[in-house]
Chains A and B, each alone.
Chain A
Amino acid sequence: MSNLPPPFDLLPFLLQGLYITVIITLGGCAVAIFMSVLFGAWSKSTDPILRWLSAIYITVFRGASALILLYWFYFAMPELTNIRLDAITTGILVLGANVGAYGAEVVRASLEAVPKGQYQAAAALNLSRWQTLRYIIFPQAILSMIPPFGNLMIELLKGTALVSTITVTDLTLQGKFLRDDTHRSFEIFGLLLLIYFVLSMTISAVFRVLEHRHSQGRDYGGGN
């Protein structure tokens, strides 16, 4: 396949799948953050309908398990609705929504952790609910969201391996194809584990930098 010594001769073929894994991780990350903030904020809403929607979303997308959700949206939903999404879009949306359900709880907990006085001060200044959230609460809550979000993004990266089961040729499916051709399982899956490990480490490094940036100029709450 190439002139590299084993097991690295397997790399060029495996890395073709890396591109898809990265795309799905980034896309899923965007979906997850959107869903987390939306449903996290809704769970603290004064409107009971929004609170219910948020509770249902969290229960379904956390409770039903990522792989089952992926199968349901890929195989079962078209039989119900005639909407058929391609496998990569399904992967991004479902994994993003799955991680987002965990993220919504993180956002909710962070909003609750902002001292009550901050809400009262905003009310005293006659800020609207949206202004309170946008300018007073969120900037303070975001610091305590960063570390758990870092962990969730690593969960998301690991979750992307599941898209291989709905025919997306990501890192994992490339590895499986290669295994079926060569039967060099130890080298192939060993390399895959190493690649995912490096990707996880990259994500946690990015989130450490983010955390450091957001804690600049604060005299409380940073890190520990």
Chain B
Amino acid sequence: MWKWDVVWQVMPDILSGLVVTLEAVAGGMVLALVLGLLWAVMRRSKSHYLSWPAWAVVEFVRSTPLLVQLFFVYYVMIDVVGRGFSPLMTGILVLGVHYSCYTAEVYRAGLDGIARGQWNAAKALNLTPYQTYRYVILPQAIPPILPNLGNYLIAMLKEAPLLSTITVLEILNEAKIFGNEHYRYLEPLTIVGVLFILLSLLAGLSVEWLRKRTAAMTS
């Protein structure tokens, strides 16, 4: 049955793990936001040498499990390259690349939503492709897609516990280690579960708030 003294005992470990989880998500999100935009812009390029690889990477990464991608990078670094990144760094890298393939689709939908006349007008003003994106397209495309990007931030948060499988000391791994040492999983795993439900509820509410704000801004 439920024991409160176990709760107080495991709480510090879990909170320190939570910090690591949030670090991983924050790092992964920065990477996903930047890399996703790169894929989206590459896919729109007229050159097949740019558009085709971006398409292939996005489709392939989205169709395969994050866990296997984590194993691939982690064990290839150990067995083939000889220890390169720390587990946390590997996790951030894989989370970031994985979710960049989802954010790429969000950006793409946002870019597709920009009226053709805007591209033509930029061309008429003799803007370079960089200037077109920087001053004309992105300022219009980014606000309405922010809520969708937020949803992938939540999705990434929910998949971040997978980093426990490559020995990152994040929230789930802390709970598991405590469980292994004390033969007691109920309290640690329940706390982690409840914390995650609260976090994703909170994140969901923030995204909803953002959606209402951007809707008010663009209308």
Contact = CB atoms under 8 A, between A and B. Distances in A.
B176 to A, nearest CB: 7
* Interface residue range, chain A: 35 or more
A176 interface: yes
B124 interface: no
A189 B196 contact: no
Interface of B, secondary structure class, is: helix
* Interface residue range, chain B: 35 or more
B71 A175 contact: yes
Interface in A161-210: 161-162, 164-165, 172, 175-176, 179, 183-186, 189-190, 192-193, 196-197, 200-201
B72 A196 contact: no
Contacts of B201: 59, 63
B71 A72 contact: no
A63 B200 contact: yes
A189 B72 contact: yes
Interface string B53-86: 0000000100111111101100110111000000
A34 interface: no
Given A63-B200, A71-B176, A159 B190 contact: no
A158 B66 contact: yes
Contacts of B176: 71
A68 interface: yes
A64 interface: yes
B165 interface: yes
A135 interface: no
A60 interface: yes
Interface of A: 59-60, 62-69, 71-72, 75-76, 79-80, 154, 157-162, 164-165, 172, 175-176, 179, 183-186, 189-190, 192-193, 196-197, 200-201
Name the 4 nearest CB pairs between A and B, nearest first: A200-B63, A185-B75, A189-B72, A161-B65
